[in-house]
Structure 1
């Protein structure tokens, strides 16, 4: 079984304090901390992959250029079910 020896006294003391506050062993405190860091890194990687995917998707499927036309706000309010808007079609 491999062991982890923390040579830095300040770090070792910090691990001991955290373990005591958590009511766990130092090994468990380090294990939990490392798992949280790994989870955060995994999430960051997934987020980065999603952003890269979106960039690539937009390169392949760009949005159409703006038309310059002004939207009819009353019509779209009516479509979305705004009750206080008069039906613009009538």
Structure 2
């Protein structure tokens, strides 16, 4: 089935992309853009995967020092 672009803005974007990537046709440019977007979506990590990485990093860093005096640290940082 052929892809017919009725929206003038979308057609203009397809033309810009065709020129930018040096595609011989708008169809080739649209194909490349769609493939690129599918790769990006498929490579995206789920929230659970990103969250697991964050927890692993936190575990690697370790627990905070309970004796750390944040006020004294900030005072030193500000030269007080």
TM-score (normalizing by structure 2): 0.52
What is the aligned partner in structure 1 of residue 28 from structure 2?
Answer: 28
Partner of 1:38: 38
Question: Could you say what the CA RMSD is over the residues aligned between the two structures, in angstroms?
Answer: 3.3
Find the structure with the greater CA-based Rg: 1
Structure 2: which 5+ residue stretches go unaligned? 69-80
Q: RCO (CA 8 Å, sep 6+): is it higher in 1 or 2?
A: 2
Q: Tell me how far apart the structure 2 counterparts of residues 49 and 26 of structure 1 sit (CA, whole Å).
A: 38
What does 1:9-88 align with in structure 2 at a 5 Å threshold? 9-21=8-20, 22-43=22-43, 45-46=44-45, 48-55=47-54, 57=56, 63-66=62-65, 68=67
Tell me how many residue pairs correspond in the alignment: 66
